[in-house]
Structure 1
Amino acid sequence: MTQTMIATILLIGLFLVLVFARVPIVYAIGIASLADFFYLGINPMQMALKFVSNLNSYTLLAVPFFITMGELMGAGGVTERLIDFSKELVGWVRGGAAMVNVVASFFFGGISGSSSADCASLGPIEIKMMEEQGYDRPFSTCLTMASSVEGILVPPSQNMVIYTLAAAGVTTVSIGQLFLAGYVPGAVLSLVLMIYSYYYSKKNGIPVTGRFHPKKCMRSLLRSVWGLLAVLIVVVGVIAGVFTTTESAAVAVVWSLMVGLFIYRGFRLRDIPHIFHNVTMTLGKVLILIGVSGAFTYLLTYLKIPENASRMLLSVTGNKILILILLNLLMLFLGCLIEMACLILMLTPVVLPIWMALGLSPIHLGVVMVLNLGIGLLTPPVGSTLFIGSAISGIRIEKLSKAMLPFYITMAAALLILTYFPQSFMWLPEMMY
Structure 2
Amino acid sequence: MVEIALLSVAVLVILLTLGVPLPYCFGAGLMTMYFVGDVVMKGNMLWGFYQLGNPVLLAIPLFVLAGTIMSVSGIAASLLNFVNIFIGHLRGGLGVVATISCALIGAISGSGLTGVAAIGPLLIPEMEKQGYPRAYATALIANASLLGLLIPPSVTMIVYGWVTDTSILACFLATLGPGLLIMCSFSVVNLRLARKFDLKLEERPQGKAFVKEASSRGFRATPALLMPVIILGGIYGGIMTPTEAAAVAVIYAIPVGFFIYRGLTIKTFLGAGKEAATSVGAIMLMILFSMILSQMFVLESVPQELVEAIFAITDNKVMLLILINVLLFLVGMVVNDVTAIILIAPLLLPLMDAIGISPIQFAAIMGVNTAMGGVTPPYASILYLGARIGKVPVTQVIRPAMVLILFGYLPVVFLTSFWSDLSLFIPRYFGY
- 2:263 aligned residue: 266
**TM-score normalised to structure 2 length:** 0.93
Structure 2 residue 193 is the aligned partner of structure 1 residue 195: no
2:132 aligned to which of 135, 141, 153? 135
AA aligned opposite 2:422: S
TM-superposition CA deviations, 1:292-322 (whole Å, max 9, x none): 1121011110222211222222232222222
Match in the other structure for 2:167: 174
Q: Relative to structure 1, is the Cα distance of residues 360 and 5 closer, same or farther in structure 2, using a 3 angstrom cutoff?
A: closer
Partner letter of residue 429 of structure 2?
Answer: M
CA contact (8 A) 1:90 1:99 kept: yes
Residue 70 of structure 1: which of 56, 59, 67 is its match?
Answer: 67
**1:370-381 residue pairs with structure 2 within 5 A?**
370-381=367-378
Does the CA-based 8 Å contact 1:37-1:44 persist in structure 2?
A: yes
Partner residue of 1:292 out of 286, 289, 292 = 289
Q: Partners of 2:270 and 2:390 in 1: how far apart? A: 29
User: Who is 1:183 aligned against?
Assistant: 176
1:430 alignment partner in structure 2: 428
Counterpart for residue 111 of structure 1: 108
The aligned runs of 1:221-260 (5 Å cut-off) are 221-260=218-257
| Alpha-carbon distance change, 205 to 40 in structure 1, aligned in 2, over 3 angstroms | closer
Identify the residue that residue 56 of structure 2 maps to in structure 1: 59
- Tell me the distance in 2 between the aligned counterparts of 1:424 and 1:382: 28
User: Shift of residue 42 of structure 1?
Assistant: 4.1
Q: Is residue 65–residue 253 contact of structure 1 (8 Å, CA) maintained in 2?
A: yes
Match of 1:390 among 387, 391, 407: 387
| Residue matched to 2:414 | 416
**Which residue of the partner structure matches residue 276 of structure 1?**
273
Amino acid at match of 2:75: V
Query: Whole-Å Cα distance in 1 between the matches of residues 6 and 389 of structure 2?
Result: 41
Counterpart selection for 1:45 from 42, 48, 63: 42
* Alpha carbons of structure 1 residues 274 and 21: separation in structure 2 relative to 1, 3 Å: closer
Counterpart Cα distance in 2 of 1:42 and 1:377: 32
Partners of 2:238 and 2:35 in 1: CA distance: 46
User: Which region of structure 1 is more displaced relative to structure 2, 177-186 or 194-203?
Assistant: 177-186
CA distance in 1, matches of 2:283, 2:378: 20
> Could you state the TM-score of these two structures normalised by the residue count of structure 1?
0.92
> For the Cα contact (< 8 Å) 1:260–1:267, is it kept in 2?
yes
Residue 305 (structure 1) aligns with: 302
Counterpart secondary structure, 1:22: coil
Moved more, 138-147 or 8-17: 8-17
Residues 72 and 118, structure 2, Cα contact 8 Å, conserved in 1: no
Total equivalences in the alignment: 426
Verify the 8 A CA contact 2:2 2:306 in the aligned structure 1: no
Gap regions ≥5 residues in structure 2: none
**Which structure 2 residues correspond to residues 336-355 of structure 1 after superposition, within 5 A?**
336-355=333-352
Corresponding residue SS for 1:224:
helix
Distance 1:21 1:93, change over 3 A: closer
Deviation at 1:109, TM superposition (A): 1.6
Q: CA 1:334–1:40 in structure 2 vs 1: closer, same or farther (change >3 Å)?
A: closer
Cα shift readout 1:162-206 (whole Å, capped 9, x = no counterpart) = 1112213xxxx1111222233322211111111111111224454
**AA aligned opposite 2:384:** F
* 1:315–1:283 distance in 2 versus 1, CA, 3 Å: same
> CA shift at 1:283, angstroms?
0.5
Query: Quick check: 220-229 or 52-61, which moved more?
Result: 220-229
Map residues 13-32 of structure 1 onto 2, 5 A cutoff. 13-32=10-29
Greater shift in the superposed pair: 240-249 or 339-348: 240-249
Give the Å deviation of 1:119: 0.9
How far, CA to CA, are the matches of 2:55 and 2:183 in structure 1? 33
Q: Which amino acid aligns with 1:150?
A: L
**Identity percentage over the alignment?**
27
CA distance in 1, matches of 2:397, 2:220: 35
Report the AA paired with residue 198 of structure 1: L
SS class of match (1:377): helix
Which moves more between the two structures, 115-124 or 225-234?
225-234
Distance change >3 Å, CA 202–CA 10, structure 1 → 2: closer
